[in-house]
Chain A
Amino acid sequence: MIRRSGALASIALVLLAWMLSNWLELAPRLLLPTPWDVLGAGWAEAKGGRFIDDISVSLLRLSAGFAIGAITGVLAGIALGWLTLARQALLPVVEVLRPIPPLAWIPLSIIWFGIGEPSKLFLIALTGFFPIAISTFRGVQGIEPVLIRAAQSMDIGRWMVMPRVILPACMPDITTGLRVGWTLSIAALVGAEMIAARSGVGFMIMDAMNNGRFDTVIFGILLLGLFSVSTDYLFSSLLIGRVLRWHAGIEMA
C-alpha cells in the first residue's frame, strides 16, 4: 500500500514539474506540449485506424523475435556449458561478437535479410540471444558437481540429466537472462522501427517527428515506457515468483 501511494506521489510530482515547465514556457508549446496535449494526441491516435495496426505489428515482431532469441539462446548456452567441443570452438566467436551493441547490427541485418520483416526478427532475436545464451552458459558452468553425481548415482541415465537436473539448476540464471534480454529486445525493436521500417510504434514516433507532432512523439515514448515497465513487472512477479519459488537463496525485490 505504501508502494501504491508512492507511485501516485511520483506521478503527481512528474506532472507538476511538467506543467511548471509549460507554465514557465521553457520551450514553445509545439516542442513541449502540455500533458493534456499528449493525452489528446493519444486519443486521436487511438481513434485513427493506424494505431492498432502499429501496435499489433510491433507486438508480433517483438514476441516472434524474442521467442527465437530465447530458444536459440538457451540451447546455445546449454551446449556451450555442457559440451567441451562446442565451448572450445564457439565461445571465442561469441566473445568477439558480444561487445557489438545490438543496434549496430541493423545495417548488416538489412544486407542479409532485406528491409522486410525477416531483418527485424533477426535483429530482435540476436539482441535477446546474447544475454540469454551467456547467462544460461554461466548457469550450467556453475552447477554444483555434487548434484550431477548424486543424480548419476541414482542411475538417472545419460539423457535425463538434462531436463531433470541441469535445466532446473540453472533456471535462476536463465530467468535473469530472459529478463535482461526482454528489455534489450524492446529497445532493439524501437531502434529498428525508427531506423528502417514503415510500420510499428517506433515508426509512429519517427513519422510524428517528421510531421512536427511532438505530442504524438511523447505519447509514443510514454507508451513504450509503460509497456516495458508493466511487462517487466509481470515477468518478475509471475516467472520469478512462481517458477523459482522453490529455489533457495533467490531474493527478488
Chain B
Amino acid sequence: MVPSADSAVADADLVKTRPKPTKQSRFTEVRGQMLAILILCGWVALWEALSRLGLLNPFFFPRPSKIAMAAVELASDGFPDGILVEVHILATLKRVVCGFLLAAGLGVPLGIIIGYMPALDRIFSNIITFGRSIAAISILPLFIAWFGIGEASKIALITFAAFWVSITYTIAGVKFVDPVLLRAARSMDCSTSTIFWSVILPAALPRIFAGLKLSLGVAFLVIVASEMIATVEGLGALIQEARTSFRTDITMLGMLIIGVLGYGLACLLDVAEHRLMPWYKSMRAR
C-alpha cells in the first residue's frame, strides 16, 4: 500500500472509467447546453439587478455592466500604466506554452525510457513521487536566485511543475500496456523495435495525453501565482495590480480571462488528442 507514482494514475482512471449515467441524444445535449447558458444569463441578470437596487456592495461585487466596461477600458487604455490586455494575455501564454513544451519534451521521452526499463523505474519512482509532491510555487524563490527575475525563472518554474506530471503519466502508460497485446505481438514474431513503435507507444498514448492535459493545467496554476510575485506583465500581475488599486471589476475580469484561456488551451489539447488517436474515443473527464 505504498502510494507510488502509479496510484495517482489509478485514481484518475477510477473516475474516468465510470459509465456515463444516461445516454443522451444529440438534441437533448444541445438543449441542455442552451438551458445552461440561459441559466447563467439569469444569474448575471440577478446580480446586476441586486447591485442596481443597492443590495450588493459595489466594491465587493461590482455589477456585471461595470465589468463589461472594464473590458473595454482594458482593451483600449490598458491597465496598469497602459499595458493592454493582449500584452498580458500574450505574456502569460508565452510562458505557459514554453514551459509546457519544455516539460513535455523532457518528461515524455524520459518517461518512455523509464517506463520501458523496470530497473530504472525502481530507482526513480521515489524521486518522481517526491518531485510531484513539492509545491512548485515554493521553488520560485530559488529559481529567481538561479535564473534571475525575468522570463527564465518563470518558464523554469512551469517546466519544473509540469515535468513531474507528464513523466508520471508517461511511465504509467508505458508500464501498464495490456499484456495480452504484448503476448499477441510476440506470438506473431514481431521484432523488439516493432513491438515498441507499433504496440507499446500507441497503447501508451491515451495515458500520455491524459498526463499532458493535466500538466497544462498545472502549468496554468503555477504561472498565475508566480506572476503575482515580482512582475508587471501577465494575467496574474494584472489581477494583483487591480487589487492593490481597488479595481475589483478588473480583478474579476482578469479571473474570467484566465478561466477562459485555461479552458481554451484544454480544448486545444482535446482536439490534438482526437487527431492523433482517432481510434481512442476521448473520454473527457466530465
Chain A residues with CB under 8 Å of chain B are: 2-3, 6-7, 9-11, 13-14, 27, 31-32, 88-89, 91-93, 95-108, 110-112, 135, 138, 141-142, 172-173, 176, 179-180, 183, 186-187, 190-191, 194-195, 202, 205-206, 208-209, 214, 217-218, 220-221, 224-225, 228-229, 232-233, 236-237, 240-241, 250-253
Contact = CB atoms under 8 A, between A and B. Distances in A.
Contact of B127 (A10, A98, A135, A214): A10
Interface stretch (B11-19, B66-74, B75-83, B100-108): B11-19
Interface stretch (B34-42, B183-191, B199-207, B268-276): B34-42
B19 to A, nearest CB: 7
A95 B33 CA distance: 12
B51 interface: no
Contacts of B144: 209
Query: From DSSP, what is the main secondary structure of chain B's interface residues?
Result: helix
A10 B123 contact: yes
Interface in B119-144: 122-127, 129-130, 133-142, 144
Chain B's interface size range is 35 or more
B2 A89 contact: no
From A104, A173, A179, name the one whose CB has the most chain B CB atoms within 10 angstroms. Answer: A104
B147 to A, nearest CB: 10
Contact of A101 (B146, B220, B243): B220
From B224, B235, B239, name the one whose CB has the most chain A CB atoms within 10 angstroms. Answer: B224
Contacts of B260: 99
B84 interface: no
Interface of B: 1-4, 6-7, 10-11, 14-15, 18-19, 21, 35-37, 39-40, 43, 59-60, 122-127, 129-130, 133-142, 144-146, 217, 220-221, 224-225, 228-229, 235-236, 239-240, 242-243, 248, 251-252, 254-256, 258-260, 262-263, 266
Contacts of A27: 146
Nearest 3 interchain pairs by C-beta: A209-B141, A107-B243, A103-B225
Given A104-B239, A107-B242, A142 B19 contact: yes
A179 B248 CA distance: 33
Given A6-B122, A100-B258, A229-B129, 14 more contacts: A14-B127, A92-B43, A93-B40, A101-B221, A107-B242, A108-B248, A138-B18, A194-B229, A195-B229, A224-B135, A225-B133, A233-B3, A251-B10, A253-B6
